[in-house]
Structure formats: C-alpha cells, structure tokens
C-alpha cells in the first residue's frame, strides 16, 4: 500500500526515506545501544548529530559566517515575542516596523506591542489582501529597531518573490523575516537580512524545534526582562544548549537536511534544484486552477505562494464532497484554514510531483462531474 499524499499546512509531510531511516535507527542509533531520544544532549553522540545538522543547514542555505544558527523552542509565535525582547531595544525609538500582508504578520505585530512601539509601515491589520504592498510605498518610521515581515503567508498564500533591500529605502535597520512556511524551499538573500526565524514543522521536520538565523551584531540588545533561555546571546554562546534542546526534532531535521542535500541535479546547487522542483509543482496546480471555471485562487499572480495554495470552489456547498472524494483518492488534509474556508494545498519540499499530479487529476475529474 503506497502512503497517501498529505497536503497539511503543518505539521506537514516528511520524506518517506527520512521516516524509514528514523524507524530503522529508533531502538539503537549507530550501535550506541539507545535511541536518540534517550541520549544526553551533552554526550558525544548527540553533539555530533547536532553539529552535523547545523553544518548541513549552513551549507544548504549558504548561510554566511557572520550569522549564527540557533536551535530554539517556542515556535514562530514564540519568536513573535522573542524577537522584540532581543531587538526592540536596539534603537532609542524602541519602535519596530511591520509590513502586514496576512494572518501571520498581523499576529507578529500584535505580539510586539507588548514590548515597545509597533508601527504599521504597510498593509492593514484587517481584511485579506490579494497583493503585496510595493516596498517603495512603505512608510517606515525614522529610526526603527528592525523591520519585520512574513515572507510567506501560510494561511493567505502570499509570498515575497524577492526580499526588499531596506537600504534602497533609506533605512539601515535590520530586516527580520518569519519564513516558517517556505524556509529551504528557495535560496535566501542573506545580504538583505538581519534575522530569519522558522518553526520546523512546515518544511523542516517535527514540531518543537524553531530555527533562528541571527547576524552577529544583533546578539547583544536584549531587554532586561528577556528570559535567559530566549536571549540570543546566551543561546548562541551555549551552542543552542543553554537548556535541553528538542533533541529528537533536531535529529529528524538533520536527516531532512541530508535528504535535501541528495536532491541535486546536474549543474544546480541543491537549493536551486529544490526551488526548480517547487516552482514546477506550484505551476502545475495554479495552471489547473486558472484553467478551470470551478476553482479559483484570489492572490495576484505576482505574489502567489509556491508552498501554500488556497483555493475555492465556485459552488462552496461542494467543498465537503470534494474533500471526501479526495480522501478516498489518498489525498489528505486539503481543507482550507478555518479563518479563510475553502481548500488549501501545501506543497512543501517533501511533497513529490506525483502528489500534485494526483491532486490535479482528482480536481479535473471532480470538475468533470460537478463543473
Ligand atoms: C505555522 C506558522 C507560525 C506558527 O508557528 P508555531 O510553531 O505554531 O508557533 C508562524 N508563522 C508562520 C508563517 C507559520 O506558517
């Protein structure tokens, strides 16, 4: 029996090879007699697993030497508080600027207000947007501590195809991105960034691990109230082992990084090969939606997400029937987010092209009988 295709937005599908390797190593990791879950995080075995995961991630995403990689906990929502606690004191204004493009950036803005001024530079805290505001239209504050955006809005299906260069806007504050739902799906332009964070459970591995990439010069601005376990300087100096890290999640993420590194194609770096595949998968589904009269996606084609594709049926009363038949065809978790309704397909790295082909086949068959 083949496994069904799982289109969940998160926690999300993982590569079958990774799950098989984890299963094979479950009781006895590399002959040491215990499972990774049972190891001391300070022992030689786990230290090597953790160091390798970090090295592989750094190589995969070409993370420059002046960025630290931190393995933290608390998820994307945790970082919505941890970022301001660490960075909002950077400038005397104690102001952070926010670009609001959907549900997740709105949440980031709301949380930051507990720690300082949170200025809306673009977008609005209400209403769905079909387009990203052009950086030239942003109203940045005079001296922000940082500028925050969500580079892929998981619920709304909107993605920045390019990160803004704040310097061209006359702003030398660091750019902070929540890239939870598209990290490792495409290259990252580190020259435009001060900090990036991502919960692991979308495109990296199990829930419980949060990745933080932080530029060296941003480690030392924490507010006095910042808990030690969430202070970037403390976590960086302790090699992400100030307190016990989510060891098993780090191990699985490490297996995913190794799997990603095997996805090379001739002449392309791993991440370019992964990006090309993600582009092709998304194109296939958008072409199906745009070519139909039954389905529609409401996001402007210039900023449609490659990872999370929300869509609606012209006759919404058919949604339950669509989902039931999809489930029978081995296509799981296609229900839209409760705040949006309709349908949503998440096409993370671990979703093979065959999964998207099967989805498109189901959509076309459903349209033929219900269109
Ligand atoms: C899922 C998600 C979050 C929330 O992550 P948690 O781990 O649940 O805190 C935050 N931001 C984005 C963009 C997400 O997709």
CA of 124 to the centre of ligand 1 (A): 19
CA of 11 to the centre of ligand 1 (A): 10
> Of the candidates 158, 152, 214, 213, which has an alpha carbon nearest to the alpha carbon of residue 182?
152
Q: Which of 106, 154, 185 to mutate to test the pocket of ligand 1 (most atoms within 8 A of CB)?
A: 154
CA of 78 to the centre of ligand 1 (A): 9
Host H or E run for residue 86: helix 75-87
Q: Which of 245, 261, 277 is the C-terminal boundary of a domain?
A: 261
SS3 128: coil
Question: Do 135 and 64 lie in a common domain?
Answer: yes
Nearest CA to ligand 1 atom 4: 76
Question: Do 309 and 257 lie in a common domain?
Answer: no
Quick one: tokens of 237? 């100096």
Instruction: Check which CATH number belongs to the domain holding 34 and give it.
Output: 3.40.640.10
Question: Do 194 and 76 lie in a common domain?
Answer: yes
Q: How many residues does the chain have?
A: 371
Question: Do 350 and 366 lie in a common domain?
Answer: yes
Nearest CA to ligand 1 atom 11: 76
Rounded Cα distance, 227 and 10, in Å: 28
Quick one: tokens of 133? 């505001």
Q: Is residue 11 part of a domain?
A: no
Question: Do 65 and 197 lie in a common domain?
Answer: yes
Tell me how far the alpha carbon of residue 156 is from its chain's centroid. Answer: 14
Quick one: tokens of 266? 């001739």
Number of domains in the chain: 2
Question: What CA–CA distances, in Å, run from 101 to 24, 44, 48, 349?
Answer: 43, 44, 40, 23
Q: Which of 246, 261, 276 is the C-terminal boundary of a domain?
A: 261
- The confidence score (pLDDT) of residue 321 equals 97
Question: Do 61 and 23 lie in a common domain?
Answer: yes
Q: Is residue 9 part of a domain?
A: no
Instruction: Check which CATH number belongs to the domain holding 341 and give it.
Output: 3.90.1150.10
Supply the residues annotated as catalytic: 104, 178, 202
Q: Which of 235, 261, 287 is the C-terminal boundary of a domain?
A: 261
Question: Do 302 and 364 lie in a common domain?
Answer: yes
Question: Do 81 and 55 lie in a common domain?
Answer: yes
Q: Which residues of 246-283 are buried (b: 16+ CB within 10 A; e: fewer)?
A: bbbbbbbbbbbbbbbbeeeeeeeebbebbbebbeebbe
- β-strand 67-72 against 210-215: which pairing, if any? antiparallel
pTM of this prediction?
Answer: 0.98
- The confidence score (pLDDT) of residue 128 equals 77
Q: Which atom of ligand 1 is nearest to the CA of 152?
A: 13
Positions in the chain short of pLDDT 50:
none
Q: Is residue 278 part of a domain?
A: yes
| Cα angle 92-119-340, degrees, rounded to a multiple of 5 | 150
Q: Is residue 5 part of a domain?
A: no
- β-strand 331-332 against 5-6: which pairing, if any? parallel
Rounded Cα distance, 83 and 89, in Å: 10
φ/ψ of 344, rounded to 5, equals: -150, 135
Range of the domain at 115: 17-261
Q: Is residue 140 part of a domain?
A: yes
Question: Do 188 and 240 lie in a common domain?
Answer: yes
Question: Do 165 and 113 lie in a common domain?
Answer: yes
199 lines ligand 1 (CB under 6 A): yes
> Of the candidates 174, 196, 173, which has an alpha carbon nearest to the alpha carbon of residue 186?
196
Cβ distance 93 to 144 under 8 Å? Answer: yes
Q: Is residue 309 part of a domain?
A: yes
CA of 76 to the centre of ligand 1 (A): 4
Rounded Cα distance, 49 and 47, in Å: 6
Question: Do 69 and 128 lie in a common domain?
Answer: yes
- The confidence score (pLDDT) of residue 237 equals 98
Quick one: tokens of 197? 């964070």
Cβ distance 224 to 214 under 8 Å? Answer: no
Rounded Cα distance, 24 and 193, in Å: 39
Question: Do 38 and 112 lie in a common domain?
Answer: yes
Q: Is residue 12 part of a domain?
A: no
- The confidence score (pLDDT) of residue 296 equals 97
Nearest CA to ligand 1 atom 10: 76
Q: Which of 79, 104, 246, 348 to mutate to test the pocket of ligand 1 (most atoms within 8 A of CB)?
A: 104
Q: Is residue 7 part of a domain?
A: no
Number of other residues whose CB lies within 10 A of the CB of residue 21: 15
Quick one: tokens of 296? 């529609």
């Amino acid at each position: 029996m083949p496994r069904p295709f799982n289109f969940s937005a998160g926690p999300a599908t993982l590569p079958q090879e990774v799950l098989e390797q984890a299963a094979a190593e479950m009781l006895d990791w590399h002959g040491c007699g215990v499972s990774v879950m049972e190891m001391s995080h300070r022992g030689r075995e786990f230290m090597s697993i953790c160091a390798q995961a970090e090295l592989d991630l750094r190589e995969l995403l070409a993370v420059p030497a002046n960025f630290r990689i931190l393995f933290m906990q608390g998820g994307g929502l945790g970082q919505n508080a941890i970022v301001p606690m660490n960075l909002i004191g950077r400038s005397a204004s104690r102001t952070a600027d926010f670009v609001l493009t959907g549900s997740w950036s709105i949440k980031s803005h709301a949380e930051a207000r507990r720690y300082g001024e949170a200025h809306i530079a673009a977008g609005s805290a209400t209403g769905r947007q079909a387009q990203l505001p052009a950086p030239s239209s942003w109203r940045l504050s005079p001296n922000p501590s940082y500028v925050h955006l969500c580079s892929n809005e998981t619920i709304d299906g909107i993605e920045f195809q390019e990160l803004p260069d704040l310097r061209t806007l006359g702003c030398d504050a660091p750019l902070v991105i929540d890239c939870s739902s598209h990290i490792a799906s495409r290259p990252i332009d580190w020259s435009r960034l001060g900090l990036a964070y991502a919960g692991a459970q979308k495109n990296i591995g199990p829930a419980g691990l949060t990745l933080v990439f932080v530029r060296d010069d941003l480690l030392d601005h924490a507010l006095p109230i910042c808990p030690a376990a969430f202070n970037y300087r403390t976590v960086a100096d302790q090699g992400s082992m100030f307190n016990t890290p989510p060891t098993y999640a780090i191990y699985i993420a490490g297996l995913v990084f190794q799997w990603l590194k095997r996805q090379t194609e001739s002449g392309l770096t791993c991440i370019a090969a992964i990006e090309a595949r993600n582009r092709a998968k998304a194109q296939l589904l958008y072409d199906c939606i745009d070519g139909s009269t039954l389905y529609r996606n409401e996001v402007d084609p210039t900023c449609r997400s490659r990872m999370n594709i929300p869509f609606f049926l012209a006759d919404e009363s058919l949604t339950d029937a669509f989902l039931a038949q999809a489930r029978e065809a081995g296509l799981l978790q296609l229900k839209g987010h409760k705040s949006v309704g309709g349908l949503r397909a998440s096409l993370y790295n671990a979703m093979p092209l065959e999964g998207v082909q099967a989805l498109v086949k189901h959509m076309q068959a459903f349209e033929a009988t219900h269109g």
